[in-house]
Structure formats: structure tokens, C-alpha cells
Amino acid sequence: MLYLASQSPRRRELLAQLGLQFGLLDVDVPEQRQPGEPPEAYVSRVAREKAGAGLLAVVANPSAVVLGADTEVVLGDEVFGKPADADDAARMLRRLSGRTHRCISSLWLVSAGREAHATCVTDVRFEELTEARIAAYIATGECFGKAGAYAIQGRAAAFVAHLAGSHSGVMGLPLHETARLLRDFGLMD
């Protein structure tokens, strides 16, 4: 049985698009970057820890396969997590304004006897954002709980001048890479 180790409604919606039945696991994994840890390694480690924590929760089911994922917004070497408050969200959006950043999504699929992973990197360029647009966006509340203080599937889609990579990866679950891992595990055709 497939399980998704995530509290994200977007990841649930995206995984459902693949037409699979799956269970949900509520895991609590600290998302703390280690000193000197490269952004890609950090995102991969957190995704693997989520999958591992999920597998521990269903260890009694020998056929369990758990999908863990993490997505972060990265500008240079700076990782933008979820904003702490409106001021933090505004700071992030100002830094992303008029620049190209990377959205790194990492996936780990684990079972009792096997594991595999994939990483998807998408380049996203925001147009220049005025203070008024930033304030209006923050007022919607959509920025909270989102890496980089934006949701590409919502109003922030209007900020994106160019995207090179996976739209679903920016949302939190790159479907091409997810489907490939699931096929490799024999969970999809």
C-alpha cells in the first residue's frame, strides 16, 4: 500500500491526479538546514527523513511504501522556508522580485527493503514587484505556510515571468518524477 508522508493539501491533490489510492501519514520532521549543507542536500535529507518517519509509523504493514517530499525556494545559496510572519513574507518577496530563483523538490520512496529518490529543479523568474503588489498579496494570506512566501497555483502565478522546469514541482510534488519512482516500484503502469 502506498502512503504519502505529508500534511500538504497540495501534495495530496497532486498525487491524486496520478489516479492512485493512497493513505496519509502525519509526520513531524524538523526542517532545519545544517551549517554548510548545500540546498539540494538539505531538501533531499528532509524528504528522506519524512519518508523514513512515515515508514516507522506503518512498520507493521510489510507491503507499505511511503512517499516523502520536500520543496524549497532557493536564491543563490539562501534557502527560503515558510515565512514566520507578514514582515518575513514581504522580505522574501522583495528578494525574489525581478530575479530568477530555483525551486528544488526532492522525493524519496521507501519500503522495508528498498528506497529510491529523485530531485527536480525548476527555475522561476519573477517580474519586478511593487511594494503595493507585495502588500496586496500578503493581505490575501496565501503566502503563509508556503516556501518562499508564494503559491504558484494561486494569485502568485501572475508574478511568474518565466518558468523552466516542472510546474507541479514548484507546487510541491513533481508529477513526472513521482510517476517514474512509482513505476520503478511497480505501483503504476
Confidence check: pLDDT of 50 > 90: yes
**Could you tell me if residue 46 is inside a domain?**
yes
Q: Render pLDDT for 126-158 as a digit per residue (tens, 0 to 9).
A: 999 999 999 999 999 999 999 999 999 999 999
Q: What is the pLDDT of residue 64?
A: 96
Determine the average pLDDT of the residues in 98-108.
98
Q: How confident is the model at residue 74 (pLDDT cuts 50, 70, 90)?
A: very high
**Could you tell me if residue 19 is inside a domain?**
yes
Q: Render pLDDT for 89-100 as a digit per residue (tens, 0 to 9).
A: 999 999 999 999
User: Which residue in the list 26, 28, 70, 88 is annotated as catalytic?
Assistant: 70
Buried-exposed string 47-82: b where 16+ CB fall within 10 A, e elsewhere = bbbbbbbbbebbeeeeebbbbbbbbbbbbeeebbbb
Helices 175-184 & 9-17 angle (0-180, nearest 10):
60
**Could you tell me if residue 132 is inside a domain?**
yes
**Could you tell me if residue 20 is inside a domain?**
yes
**Domain containing 27: what range?**
2-184
Which phi and psi angles does 41 have, rounded to 5°? -65, -40
**Could you tell me if residue 169 is inside a domain?**
yes
Q: How confident is the model at residue 189 (pLDDT cuts 50, 70, 90)?
A: confident
Number of domains in the chain: 1
User: Is 88 a catalytic site residue?
Assistant: no
Q: What is the pLDDT of residue 115?
A: 97
Q: Render pLDDT for 161-174 as a digit per residue (tens, 0 to 9).
A: 999 999 999 999 99
128 grid coordinates: 519586478
Determine the average pLDDT of the residues in 12-16.
96
**Could you tell me if residue 189 is inside a domain?**
no
**Could you tell me if residue 147 is inside a domain?**
yes
Q: How confident is the model at residue 7 (pLDDT cuts 50, 70, 90)?
A: confident
Give dist(CA 114, CA 185) in Å, integer.
9
Handedness of CA 24, 30, 31, 37 (dihedral sign): negative
**Could you tell me if residue 122 is inside a domain?**
yes
CATH of the domain at 14: 3.90.950.10
